[in-house]
Amino acid sequence: MPDSIAQQRNEPDFARAGERIYALAAELYPICRSITGEGVRATLGLMRRHIDLDVHEVPTGTKVLDWTIPKEWNIRAAYIKDAAGNSVVDFANSNLHVMSYSVPVRRTMPLAELKKHLHSLPDQPDLIPYRTSYWVENWGFCLPHRQMAALPEGDYEVLIDSTLADGAMTYAEYLHRGTSEQEFLLTAHICHPSLANDNCSGLALLTILAEHLAPLSTRLSYRFLFSPGTIGPIAWLAANEANVHRIRHGLVVAGVGDGGGPTYKRSRRGDCPIDRAMAHVLRHGFENPKLIDFEPYGYDERQFCSPGFDLPVGLLQRSRFGTFPEYHTSADNIDFIVPRHLGDSLRVIWRAIEIAESDYVPINLSPKGEPQLGRRGLYASTGGDKEGPARAMAMLWVLNQADGTRSLLGIAERAGLPFHVVRAAAQALTQAGLLGPAPAA
Amino acid sequence: MPDSIAQQRNEPDFARAGERIYALAAELYPICRSITGEGVRATLGLMRRHIDLDVHEVPTGTKVLDWTIPKEWNIRAAYIKDAAGNSVVDFANSNLHVMSYSVPVRRTMPLAELKKHLHSLPDQPDLIPYRTSYWVENWGFCLPHRQMAALPEGDYEVLIDSTLADGAMTYAEYLHRGTSEQEFLLTAHICHPSLANDNCSGLALLTILAEHLAPLSTRLSYRFLFSPGTIGPIAWLAANEANVHRIRHGLVVAGVGDGGGPTYKRSRRGDCPIDRAMAHVLRHGFENPKLIDFEPYGYDERQFCSPGFDLPVGLLQRSRFGTFPEYHTSADNIDFIVPRHLGDSLRVIWRAIEIAESDYVPINLSPKGEPQLGRRGLYASTGGDKEGPARAMAMLWVLNQADGTRSLLGIAERAGLPFHVVRAAAQALTQAGLLGPAPAA
Amino acid sequence: MPDSIAQQRNEPDFARAGERIYALAAELYPICRSITGEGVRATLGLMRRHIDLDVHEVPTGTKVLDWTIPKEWNIRAAYIKDAAGNSVVDFANSNLHVMSYSVPVRRTMPLAELKKHLHSLPDQPDLIPYRTSYWVENWGFCLPHRQMAALPEGDYEVLIDSTLADGAMTYAEYLHRGTSEQEFLLTAHICHPSLANDNCSGLALLTILAEHLAPLSTRLSYRFLFSPGTIGPIAWLAANEANVHRIRHGLVVAGVGDGGGPTYKRSRRGDCPIDRAMAHVLRHGFENPKLIDFEPYGYDERQFCSPGFDLPVGLLQRSRFGTFPEYHTSADNIDFIVPRHLGDSLRVIWRAIEIAESDYVPINLSPKGEPQLGRRGLYASTGGDKEGPARAMAMLWVLNQADGTRSLLGIAERAGLPFHVVRAAAQALTQAGLLGPAPAA
């Protein structure tokens, strides 16, 4: 019989798990991903060494909600050479050099014309920006501004050896089945090329989390979704519209390897169980937590929280996206993420899962006056001791608040105590016959 | 076909309008007004050069709610002369010199007796106070404290050439008809003599506003009411009790020419559409806005917000009344009000009217996932750009929040964006077929 | 006919009452009380000189809710003597020296064995701690840490001349009958030995309050309960379960003689009339008020606020319990409490009683527009006076808010005015025929 998540010995060693997440993120980092193509498949191939993914291919042209699956993009090589044939920019050095979804090009052109297709960051002159053009056919190169500004006049040879053709969009799922059909959705986007925090960190963290859950028995089912940003969730929602009511909790996971936050962005509803659980977890056990309200910009929570679905899905990040200078540049590299932060991010999610697994509405079976804890061995025998009462405080809170109107999490919130302390008190009271589950409403 | 207020080219030039309001206030300033009498009629006569007023005369003795229309008061001359026949105080110099509703007097009396009828301000010794005795028959003079303190002993000749006799109380209305019978009430009191801010400013501002609205097509009907403080609204409410349900928004306008605030005092209900609109307008576009809760002291909102009516009527002022030293003294003169502030006060009301005219509950017609804005030309085509998304933010907010539960104003509040930005986004989305009006509840 | 509490001349002279409370507390202070025994009976005997108490004896072994009445404990003498026969600790010097409910002992033992039964406070080395062992049979002595640390090796003679035998638990009630069966419960614990603030202060204050109420006519009935902590209210609730619905307001009174606070701890419900009344009283008229939310630790409100009863009972203290260094030590002596603070604490409760007695839901009988206060002599006759309106402000608030949805206390809260000011305004308006009681809902 599998072990339950509620048994503490099944908790991951977060430090060690952080190292494993980092190692996987480092493997994923070099691959050139986009919203379609072989890069996504190669990424899923590495993740499959850990978990048994169910891979879906959605053909080009398929209608999904308001969108259409685009052509598949692949790239083999790209460069700019000067008139002397010296390499100026080479895709082999960084896959950020080529704007994602660039159409094939093989031409020689003067600098003035080339510049219309060059992207750089004047304020961060040593970094390569990240650019895409998924929905308008175009091509472009990205390079450090200092380098671009120094390009001499003259003719340049431009090559982009890419293909944009009918194919498919690829995404993958992994379902950990619990005793209930109710689901906890955990999802990360799989469309960014060599950006380590955004989102190799999220892909690797969820893979290692799924691997750790695999042998454990859970109440909820855990659905892991790895799909390209925006079009991926759109396609998944289109295919699974009949089943989204099963999603009782959800987290979009992105940018979980840097040293900021942790930051939780609430779901559109703002007061779902996942919102309350995440707020509780961040407040108890993390030094610099940030809680922000939903806004319709960000990651794939935009789709899950569109008004026609309005699912209980929030976003976990470390630094809030767009607020750190490395965001969407070549500085978001494998040195920007840190095993310790990845392990800590895993700990956030694990604590939320613990709450989702074990929260329930208790009821005091001896509600008139306080029951005599002392004769049940639950209370210090010597009265008057100033410290003794503190030890029984969690039990007193549970007894006092367990009137069938609130769950353990609600009691923990009211008492200002960590969930696990309240849960332990509830377990002791249950063993003493003083507490039971409230009848279903 | 008349132009609509929603067309921006119809917006007043607020600087120029401020000059026109000031000019009219300066014309109204010298007139000796009280709650009845020829001063009110003369004031309305000047305002009629701008708008077609409907003037009502309510006879003395008419019962109006808990009150009775008093006798009509008129005054031709008044003075105090010393024993040598030198003028000490002369009504011809300032109509504040005579307590409003003073009964006729023609006597000689010693200083000690006279002093029982003199009013001054020891803390503001150079200013003439403003005093009234509408409901108790009495007479009095108001003068600078410095002058009063210096009066030598002796006999004084006192003349008040006034009449207090059966007549009428005068008030006036102007109705700008919209396509709906729902009304926006705009009202100012017309009972104070030479006090420029309180309330020549309000009378002049509403007159010029009415004049500007006249050629425009509106959804709401706009009712302008100019009546003496307290007894005026009491009489109007008594006569119009059956129709007050039409009033969906209302503003009492008083003291709108000084440099304070702007200050909005909420209606008794506190969360009416006018309260939310005014809070929004003041927060977006004014430097030193003040929002205060309803209290049962102030201007004529007291009557509209009495519990038997409880209408959605708030108060717009600049400085909060009673908080500036010029209040109810001769220092509230024509130099105390400023065209720029008058124009700014008009801008406050105009913005609130814009919201009242164009707010509605939108509904997202493509609510499942985000619709693809890019192929409709509503979204920057190059992804990854850090700035691009900000341009689409208002559209994303409207799409995300347009679930039929909140109006454009509610979306603007939730998004922290100005109403006009949200309205423009809604217009663009409507043109793209993505947004419609919610069906009536 | 007895006088009503609403007549101000019946208000106690709080300074003088504070002296009387102090004198009674000083009489109660030397008695050795515990949760049962002659000490409780002797205490009630002194209180009976002031009020006609109804004393109850609950036999040992009686089942009360989840608890059982314990054996009765009495003590005549106790000491520790050294090998030379010198007295080391003597119960005759302080009844705190013996742990309450110590079983009889008469033995000689070496220091090492004795020390297992000694209690002291290393951080407060000159004070005797207060310790009890009601529910586990044990014995012990309490002494200053400095003294204990200096005890030389050797044999010690130990005597505790106590009895622990079948008997009864004693508690007492006093009921002041009002015209209604609705009750205001006022209760203090009677189980602590020589601790002056905790709770001779509460016992004495409620006794003097009851004595003062005796000749007065009241609307509510006032139930005074003096019972040992925890087991007392448990027994009372068990015996009176059918009648607790009569309790509309309740206060546990403990530690009301020190200079802190006053502190009010809200009932479990948090927004009962007693919670609102106490918050109002503390905000209007006390310099350093503290309002704290319910928590399931403290005094006997724990029992009244257990979820099976959930009564509207809060706690009045001065300093919050456990936050002052004298708490549960010999420093909580008769010098720690002060007549002025006791009188002030009485004033808090008196003000709450005034609200409970006289609060009601008024209704404006002239709700359309403001009624004309002037012709009823309720308003200054000369308008324009800057000060005049303030005098009528409370009347305007009552008229404006008296729509049948809120009581006088609710109006006082909304207006930010003291309850007595609002009540006086309501009386004036009632006399003028403008205000009546709202029909029962």
The span from the CA of A29 to the CA of A37, in Å, is 16
CA distance C403 to chain B (A): 6
Q: What is the pLDDT of residue C392?
A: 83
Mean pLDDT, chain C, integer: 94
Judged against a pLDDT cut of 80, whether residue C6 lies above it is answered with no
The span from the CA of A260 to the CA of A317, in Å, is 8
Contact: C368, B306; criterion CB under 8 Å: yes
Q: Does B380 touch chain A (CB under 8 A)?
A: no
Of C364, C393, C403, the CB nearest to B297: C393
Q: Does C366 touch chain B (CB under 8 A)?
A: yes
Q: For chains A and B, what is the number of CB pairs under 8 angstroms? A: 88
Q: Does C307 touch chain A (CB under 8 A)?
A: yes
Q: Tell me the CB-side half-sphere exposure of residue A132, using CA atoms within 13 A.
A: 17
Mean pLDDT, chain A, integer: 94
Q: Tell me the CB-side half-sphere exposure of residue A159, using CA atoms within 13 A.
A: 14
Q: What is the pLDDT of residue A388?
A: 47
**pLDDT tens per residue, range A282-291:** 999 898 999 9
Which residues in C lie closer than 8 A to residue B268 (C-beta atoms)?
A: 400
Of C66, C100, C296, the CB nearest to A371: C66
Q: What is the pLDDT of residue A387?
A: 44
Contact: C368, B295; criterion CB under 8 Å: no
Q: What is the pLDDT of residue C323?
A: 86
The span from the CA of C251 to the CA of C267, in Å, is 9
Q: What is the pLDDT of residue C1?
A: 41
Q: What is the pLDDT of residue B387?
A: 43
Compare A55 and B375 and report the one with higher pLDDT: A55
CA distance C108 to chain A (A): 24
Q: What is the pLDDT of residue C379?
A: 75
Contact: B369, A309; criterion CB under 8 Å: yes
Predicted-complex ipTM score:
0.93
Q: Which of B366, B368, B398, B403 to mutate to test the interface with A (most CBs of A within 10 A)?
A: B368
Contact: C372, B66; criterion CB under 8 Å: yes
Judged against a pLDDT cut of 80, whether residue B2 lies above it is answered with no
Per the document, the length of chain B is: 441
Peptide bond into C199 cis (omega under 30): yes
CA distance B185 to chain A (A): 36
**pLDDT tens per residue, range C200-237:** 999 999 999 999 999 999 999 999 999 999 999 999 99
Q: Does B413 touch chain A (CB under 8 A)?
A: no
Contact: B369, A138; criterion CB under 8 Å: no
**pLDDT tens per residue, range B41-97:** 999 999 999 999 999 999 999 999 999 999 999 999 999 999 999 999 999 999 999
In sequence order, what DSSP letters do the residues of C41-109 get, joined into one string? HHHHHHHTTTS--EEEEEETT-EETTEE---EEEEEEEEEE-TT--EEEETTT-GGGB-BTBPPEEEEE
Q: What is the pLDDT of residue C364?
A: 98
Which residues in B lie closer than 8 A to residue C369 (C-beta atoms)?
A: 65-67, 233-234, 237-238, 303, 306, 308-309
Q: What is the pLDDT of residue B7?
A: 65
CA distance B338 to chain C (A): 24
Compare A285 and C1 and report the one with higher pLDDT: A285
| Predicted TM-score of the model (pTM) | 0.92
Q: Which of A364, A376, A381 to mutate to test the interface with C (most CBs of C within 10 A)?
A: A381
Q: What is the pLDDT of residue A266?
A: 98
Estimate the share of chain B in helix, then strand, then coil, as percent rounded to the nearest 5.
35, 25, 45
Which residues touch C96 (CB under 8 Å, ≥6 apart)? Answer: C128, C129, C130, C142, C193, C194, C195, C329, C330
Contact: A367, C138; criterion CB under 8 Å: no
CA distance A238 to chain B (A): 9
Judged against a pLDDT cut of 70, whether residue A384 lies above it is answered with no
Residue with tokens 């005997």: C45
**List of chains touching B (3+ CB pairs within 8 A):** A, C
Q: Does A383 touch chain C (CB under 8 A)?
A: yes
Q: Mean pLDDT throughout B191-200?
A: 97
Q: What is the pLDDT of residue A321?
A: 84
Contact: C381, B327; criterion CB under 8 Å: no
Strand C168-176, strand C54-59: pairing: antiparallel
Contact: A297, B367; criterion CB under 8 Å: no
Q: What is the pLDDT of residue A323?
A: 86
Judged against a pLDDT cut of 80, whether residue A6 lies above it is answered with no
Say which range, A391-405, B274-288, C381-395, has the weakest mean pLDDT: C381-395
**Which tokens hold the place of B427?**
């217009």
Q: Tell me which H or E stretch contains C146.
A: helix C145-149
Q: Does A270 touch chain B (CB under 8 A)?
A: no
Q: Tell me which H or E stretch contains C17.
A: helix C14-28
**pLDDT tens per residue, range B319-369:** 998 889 999 999 999 999 999 999 999 999 999 999 999 999 999 999 999
A65 alpha carbon, distance to own chain's centre: 23
Q: Does B368 touch chain A (CB under 8 A)?
A: yes
Contact: B306, C396; criterion CB under 8 Å: no
Contact: B132, C382; criterion CB under 8 Å: yes
In sequence order, what DSSP letters do the residues of A127-187 get, joined into one string? S-B--B-SSS-B--EE--HHHHHTPPSSEEEEEEEEEEES-EEEEEEEEE--SSS-EEEEE
The span from the CA of A303 to the CA of A313, in Å, is 10
Q: What is the pLDDT of residue C48?
A: 98
Q: Does A351 touch chain B (CB under 8 A)?
A: no
Q: How confident is the model at residue B378 (pLDDT cuts 50, 70, 90)?
A: confident
Q: Are A58 and A146 in contact, with CB atoms under 8 Å apart? A: no
**pLDDT tens per residue, range A240-285:** 999 999 999 999 999 999 999 999 999 999 999 999 999 999 999 8
Q: Which of C368, C395, C403 to mutate to test the interface with B (most CBs of B within 10 A)?
A: C368
Q: Mean pLDDT throughout C370-381?
A: 83
Strand B216-217, strand B155-165: pairing: unpaired
Of C367, C375, C384, the CB nearest to B306: C367
Between the CA of residue B52 and those of B11, B44, B233, what are the distances in Å? 21, 10, 20
Q: Which of B350, B262, B267 is nearest to B302 (CA)?
A: B267
Judged against a pLDDT cut of 70, whether residue B250 lies above it is answered with yes
Residue of B nearest to A129 (CA): B384
Q: What is the pLDDT of residue A84?
A: 94
Q: What is the pLDDT of residue C10?
A: 85
**pLDDT tens per residue, range C172-203:** 999 999 999 999 999 999 999 999 999 999 99
Q: Could you say which residues from 133 to 152 on chain B have a Cβ atom under 8 Å away from some Cβ of chain C?
A: 133-136, 138, 140
**List of chains touching A (3+ CB pairs within 8 A):** B, C
Which residues in B lie closer than 8 A to residue C433 (C-beta atoms)?
A: none
Q: Does A307 touch chain B (CB under 8 A)?
A: yes
Contact: A369, C66; criterion CB under 8 Å: yes
